[in-house]
Amino acid sequence: MLDIKFVREHPECVKENIRKKYQDYKLSLVDNVIALDSENRKLKLKGDELRMSRNHFSSQIGNLMKEGKKEEAENLKLKVNSINEELNSNEQLEQEYSEKIRQIMLKIPNMIHESVPIGKDDSQNVEIQKYGEPIVPSYEIPYHSNIMEKLNGIDLDSARRVAGNGFYYLIGNIARLHSAVISYARDFMINKGFTYCIPPFMIRSDVVTGVMSFEEMDAMMYKVEGEDLYLIGTSEHSMIGKFKDQILQKADLPYTMTSYSPCFRKEKGAHGIEERGIYRIHQFEKQEMIVVCEPEDSYKWFDKMWSYTVELFRSMDIPVRTLECCSGDLADLKAKSLDVEAWSPRQKKYFEVGSCSNLTDAQARRLGIRIKGEKGNYYAHTLNNTVVAPPRMLIALIENNYQEDGSVNIPEVLRPYMGGIAKIESKL
């Protein structure tokens, strides 16, 4: 969420930012919120004047009573009562205007960083760099769920009977491989100096609206019926929510945390044949990282964070590339975002396995996360990045380690988490 003062003083800059995000239907929000803000400031000024008048007359009442001028004192009491009624009415209007302003401000997108390429959608994202040599073997690589089935590692049919489409049972060594990836990613981030955390898997609505836009909320979140609770779509939600309404001490910054959680997403709409299996699902597990820091440090952390994901994948010999997300592909709260994509030798192309985002002070403003400064408090910057989400990681891992005989080699760094197993083979 932007600062209303910034919108008031730089309306054309805010509108140009909206145009760069191809959200012209939101342009009118800028003029609307400025008009509401003008009226609200008039109400605040009127409220201050009414309070001054009330205080002035109230101080006179005591003196008049001491002087025995009871009638004059009673007349002033009537005047004070009238001012109180007018003040109550004015304060109610202030609250109404403030809420209208907040609702509009929640819809105006964050200012994108000057380095973000301008483009309408993800087809115009810009490749930055490739890491590792993408290899296509001479033999055919089956679809990932077919590989898992032959290794007795997945049961999609039973999952459909139990929960419907978009769910799965992982079994045996494939399930163990899934857990190995999570455990390795956890230790990898701890070794980078991040504090490990397991957060709540449900959050209240005020946290949801603090960490994401209304559009994302509607497309992603599952609500618990009859409760003011939502299942998290990523642990970033509850991890950033941890700092809600807090005033942070400069000496404690930055907060660097890595978290494990299950994640739940609606994943509305059809996604195509390449997203069968476990590519796009309603439930998965993920290792996440978040940073809460000083504003001037956020872009340094941004570069560190995405580089950790690249390093993690390369430590398992999985080729990856980085993509700069264009303006139209950025969610409203994001100032800059970079995707990490892994190589799929079966599809002969890269696919997304992680996303790193700098939200500057957008989430902090919504959630009231401030830093105590010498000349007043100011808003922190927040960032998040996927360490690893094993369903997609498993696809990349299995495809890049699939052997002609149908077995899957296990990268050396994962073997300690697999009891020393170096290969998963069919038991048939």
pLDDT of res. 327: 98
pLDDT of res. 202: 97
What mean pLDDT is predicted for residues 304-332? 97
Query: Which residues is 300 bridged to in the sheet?
Result: none
Q: 79-93, 265-279, 321-335, 408-422: lowest mean pLDDT where? A: 265-279
pLDDT of res. 275: 53
What mean pLDDT is predicted for residues 59-86? 86
Q: How far is 283 from 166, CA to CA, in rounded Å?
A: 7
pLDDT of res. 270: 43
pLDDT of res. 273: 40
Whether residue 271 has pLDDT greater than 60 = no
Q: How far is 115 from 125, CA to CA, in rounded Å?
A: 13
Of the candidates 273, 338, 347, 349, the one whose C-alpha atom is nearest the C-alpha of residue 305 is 338
Whether residue 333 has pLDDT greater than 50 = yes
pLDDT in tens, 35-58: 999 999 999 999 999 999 998 888
pLDDT in tens, 373-399: 998 999 999 999 999 998 899 999 999
Whether residue 65 has pLDDT greater than 90 = no
pLDDT of res. 268: 59
pLDDT of res. 269: 52
pLDDT in tens, 88-104: 999 999 999 999 999 99
What does pLDDT average to over the chain? 94
3-state secondary structure the chain: CCCHHHHHHCHHHHHHHHHHCCCHHHHHHHHHHHHHHHHHHHHHHHHHHHHHHHHHHHHHHHHHHHCCCHHHHHHHHHHHHHHHHHHHHHHHHHHHHHHHHHHHHCCCCCCCCCCCCCCCCHHHCEEEEEECCCCCCCCCCCCHHHHHHHCCCEEHHHHHHHHCCCCCEECHHHHHHHHHHHHHHHHHHHCCCCEEECCCCEECHHHHHHHCCHHHHHHHCEECCCCCCEECCCHHHHHHHCCCCCEECHHHCCEEEEEEEEEECCCCCCCCHHHCCCCCCCEEEEEEEEEEECHHHHHHHHHHHHHHHHHHHHCCCCCEEEEECCHHHCCCCCCEEEEEEEEECCCCEEEEEEEEEECCCHHHHHHCCEECCCCCCEECEEEEEEEECHHHHHHHHHHHCECCCCCEECCHHHHHHHCCCCEECCCC
pLDDT of res. 279: 83
Q: How far is 177 from 4, CA to CA, in rounded Å?
A: 49
What mean pLDDT is predicted for residues 350-376? 96
Whether residue 280 has pLDDT greater than 90 = no
CB 158 within 8 A of CB 169: yes
Q: Could you tell me the pLDDT band of residue 413, with boundaries at 50, 70 and 90?
A: very high
Tokens 């299995």, residue located: 398
Q: Which domains does the chain have, with CATH numbers?
A: 4-105 (1.10.287.40), 122-424 (3.30.930.10)
pLDDT of res. 274: 47
What mean pLDDT is predicted for residues 325-338? 97
pLDDT in tens, 163-204: 998 899 999 999 999 999 999 999 999 999 999 999 999 999
What mean pLDDT is predicted for residues 268-286? 71
Kindly state the percentage of the chain with pLDDT values over 90.
Answer: 85
pLDDT of res. 169: 96
pLDDT in tens, 98-128: 999 999 999 999 999 999 999 999 999 999 9
